[in-house]
Amino acid sequence: MTRIPCDVIQDLLPLYYDEICSESTKQLVEEHLAVCTDCRSALEQMQSSLNLTLQERELHTLEGKGLQNIKKWWSHTRWIAFIRGMIVAASLCGILIIGYWVLFRWNIQPVPSDQIMISDIRTRSNGEIAFQIQIRGGYTQVKNTLKDDGSYYITPVQPLIVSKRGKANTSVSGGMFINPLSVRAYYKNQGKDVEITSIYYGSPDQPILIWKKGRTLPAED
Ligand SMILES: [Zn+2]
């Protein structure tokens, strides 16, 4: 059998030393070590340097009395332990509060369109478009978006998780009116001048069309 080059064996030595190589690798390494003094001393060096590191570490621990004392003081002083407990409890509370707020209070999720009912869409003589909305549970706030193509979205939003009580309390039904010219004027003020060409209610993903430019709506009396 051809002799395995020393550098291959020495690449394998760390694996061999840590006993994480296969049985056949182990056998190959041992066969080589039996006949090669270079690789044997490489292994010995590895063993002694690792032992040294361990010894050094122990020495440092003994010598690092200053640090040790601080540790003792930290862990054995009762009021420190108390404060430490308080800090842990406070940060735990903080995490819980943030988590609660993110899940139950932060209005980021559009109310699904199947929870929204739009009816009775009409125009008024003053140019307003009036309609009735009914939203089942969980609605908390409205976000408005004007896209560059002139579509305007009125999006009711709710937290990721709506509690039963929230669902019961936040159902909405009522009339709404909106004037496309006023919306345009508002956005022009903000530096975005786009003609309003359509108005949607609900999330841009599942929009409910209220009005489109050129569409004639029944007039309100
Ligand atoms: Zn060798």
Q: For 117-162, how does the pLDDT look when each residue is reduced to its tens digit (9 = 90+)?
A: 998 899 988 889 999 988 887 677 888 999 999 999 999 888 888 7
pLDDT band at 50 (very low <50, low <70, confident <90, very high): low
C-alpha of residue 35 to centroid of ligand 1, in Å: 8
- Ranges of H-type helices in 36-129: 37-63, 65-76, 78-100
- Interstrand relation of 172-178 and 129-135 (parallel, antiparallel or unpaired): antiparallel
Sign of CA dihedral 52, 57, 62, 64: positive
C-alpha of residue 51 to centroid of ligand 1, in Å: 23
- Helix, strand, coil in percent for the chain, rounding step 5: 50, 20, 30
What was the pLDDT predicted at 188?
93
C-alpha of residue 39 to centroid of ligand 1, in Å: 4
Mean pLDDT of 74-91: 80
C-alpha of residue 42 to centroid of ligand 1, in Å: 9
Reading the block at residue 150, the tokens are 């002139």
| pLDDT at residue 194 tops 60 | yes
Name the most confidently modeled range: 51-60, 64-73, 176-185: 176-185
What was the pLDDT predicted at 54?
62
In percent, how much of the chain has pLDDT > 90?
A: 40
How many other CB atoms are there within 10 angstroms of residue 155's CB atom? 18
Counted residue by residue, the chain has a size of: 221
Least confident of 64-78, 98-112, 206-220: 64-78
C-alpha of residue 53 to centroid of ligand 1, in Å: 25
Exposure on the CB side of residue 126, measured as CA atoms within 13 A = 6
C-alpha of residue 2 to centroid of ligand 1, in Å: 13
Mean pLDDT of 180-188: 92
What was the pLDDT predicted at 157?
86
Q: Which residues pair with 143 in a beta bridge?
A: 155
C-alpha of residue 6 to centroid of ligand 1, in Å: 4
Three-state DSSP class for residue 129: strand
Query: Residue 138 is inside which H or E element, if any?
Result: none
pTM of the predicted protein model:
0.56
What was the pLDDT predicted at 62?
58
- The 8-class DSSP code of residue 3 comes to P
